Amino acid sequence: MSGVQNLTVDEGDDGSRLDRWFKRKFPHIPHGRVEKYLRTGQLRVEGKRVKGKVRLEAGQNVRVPPLPEPGDKKPARRMSDADINFMKNMVIYEDNDLIALNKPAGLAVQGGTNTTRHIDGMLPALAYKGTPPRLVHRLDKDTSGVLVVAKNAKSAAWLGKAFQNRSTKKIYWGITQGVPRPASGEVKGYVAKGEGFDGREVMMAVRHGTPGAKHARTLYQVASSAGNRAAWVVMQPLSGRKHQLRLHMHLLETPLAFDPKYTSDKEELGGLSPQLHLHAKSLTLPHPDGHIIELNAALSPHMRNAFDLFGFDENTTLEEMEP
């Protein structure tokens, strides 16, 4: 058991939530115990009782109570040189505040049941001055494309707020089974978690007032089509619901190719890789220093194969979608 510690908040942690700051400093302490320290006044800022969501300021004093030692906790898995190079080769943009990655399909952003290799666990490969970058948003495991991580607490807070306030613009490209009708428009309505035919959790269209229902909106346009077989569809989510784009294409009766959850009775498209055909193509966001940046991710190999197979030209001029 350690003694009482009085720690000073570093410049790089200015703006961090207290509970998240504590977790980074003492990852072996479970969340429930941290809540107890806060509830009983053992964890304080500038001598005052606070809640975990309070934002820290550089130079503040944080009183940390005596903590149990890590004990027999297993050491973190050492990354291989191959994983380090893998992460570095994923970088498509970097400055003093953020890094943009082109995430491959099939790689999870965070860990979970039976998931030990993921972006979050490999971020130390991109450490800046010894500090690993931090996640500020997510992509589904099977979705490829632009993923942004913050290099310090200030940019993490800024970018997190930008995603929360919808001041970012996300553009996704997908390959659908069949061609959406009409060729452009908006899909909107309430969605909530439900259970699919195989017992797995899926998102479903529901009525307003259904427990857990949230409103979802997606703009879309057909950029090109291969007869009635398939289409290259450009999508812009105006909300950030789980599986939103996948569900909305399914509701148009033109599900994304090889989507394992949102399927139809249509025969799978031949000649394609059996992977979800959804790519986060671009992300436009306000930068912490005040200017606007647009990040673009090259198509993943299986999406490139689909474009070649159907004769889609990614240099096609696309119309701006308006709400």
Separation between Cα atoms, residue 256 and residue 245, nearest integer Å:
9
The answer to whether the CB of 208 falls within 8 A of the CB of 178 is: no
**What pLDDT score does 77 carry?**
56
Query: Which CATH code fits 5-64?
Result: 3.10.290.10
Q: Is 140 a catalytic residue?
A: yes
Tell me which of 13, 140, 142, 259 is the catalytic residue: 140
pLDDT at 31: 80
Does residue 103 carry a pLDDT above 80? yes
- Output the pLDDT for position 213: 94
Percent of the chain with pLDDT over 70: 96
CATH class of 81-164: alpha beta
pLDDT in tens, 274-310: 999 999 999 999 887 888 999 999 999 999 999 999 9
Q: Are strands 98-103 and 214-226 parallel, antiparallel or unpaired?
A: unpaired
> 20 versus 90: which is more confidently predicted?
90
pLDDT, tens only, 128-181: 878 889 999 999 999 999 999 999 888 888 998 898 888 899 999 999 999 999
How far apart, in whole angstroms, are the C-alpha atoms of residue 285 and residue 136?
A: 12
Query: What fold, for 169-310?
Result: Pseudouridine synthase (3.30.2350)
- Examine the pLDDT at 11 and tell me if it is beyond 90: no
Q: Please state the domain extents for the chain.
A: 5-64, 81-164, 169-310
Roughly how many angstroms between the first and final C-alpha of the chain, as a whole number? 57
Q: What is the pTM of this model?
A: 0.77
User: Distance (Å, rounded) from C-alpha 13 to C-alpha 78?
Assistant: 25
Instruction: State yes or no: pLDDT of 201 exceeds 90.
Output: no
Q: Report the chain's mean pLDDT, rounded to a whole number.
A: 91
81-164 and 169-310 share one fold: yes
